[in-house]
Amino acid sequence: MYMRACFLKFFVIFVILLSFIISSCSKPPENQEKTGVKTDKTTTVKVEHSAAKTPEPEALKPLPEPAVKSKPEKNKTISGLADVIRMETIGYAKHKKGIVSFSHKSHFTDYKLDCSECHHDKNGVPLKGLNEKAEVQPCISCHKKPGQAPRKINNKKLSKKEKLAYHAEALHKNCITCHKDFDKKNHTKAAPFSCSKCHLKRK
């Protein structure tokens, strides 16, 4: 009877120990579980990185051309000839009066004047056979002294030839003489020859 009771005790203890061992083996250790989680996360991250593609660089687009502002045309042309010429002659330190705007269109097209009525050679001989495409020298290339001639030099009056060395004197002789002759011939005052009519005041 005693032996039977001992056997039962050992049997119960054995069953308890066996069940404990089996339950312990079925559950992974705490550290291993955490490591597994970390490994899973690391694996996931690695997969995501490997799946993510490096964005391809966009095709280089040509830079837009800078907007160019169109400049207003100061001088229109008639068959290659400037319509209006502003007489801003190089050589003048300062223009005391308003700049004269000379209209080629009025003189050449409307009034039917020949080029030679204004353009001449160094001896004053009219240049025949010029057209709107001809290249001519500016007046100051021969009448080199800017401005008007003084009344006297060393208390001596200048001759007509000496006066024509001055740029303004040559232009005035050419333009004013022609305008006066036109008005006289046509009994009109259409062609101006006073200072204020040609040298308009600056705005």
Q: What is the DSSP letter of 52?
A: S
pTM of the entire predicted model: 0.55
Per-residue pLDDT of the chain (203 residues; tens, 9 = 90+): 666 667 777 777 877 777 767 766 655 555 444 444 444 444 444 444 444 455 554 544 444 444 433 333 344 444 456 688 888 888 888 888 888 988 888 888 888 888 888 899 888 899 888 877 788 888 988 999 999 999 899 999 999 999 999 999 999 999 999 999 999 999 999 999 898 888 888 76
Contact 133, 81 (CB under 8 A): yes
**Is 151 among the domain residues?**
yes
**Domain span at 184:** 77-198
In DSSP terms, 101 is beta-bridged to 86
CA angle 34, 40, 43 (to 5 degrees): 140
**Is 105 among the domain residues?**
yes
**Is 156 among the domain residues?**
yes
In terms of C-beta density within 10 A (0-12 exposed, 13-18 middle, 19 or more buried), how is residue 92 classed? middle
Q: How far apart are CA 134 and CA 115, in angstroms?
A: 10
CATH number of residue 187's parent domain: 3.90.10.10
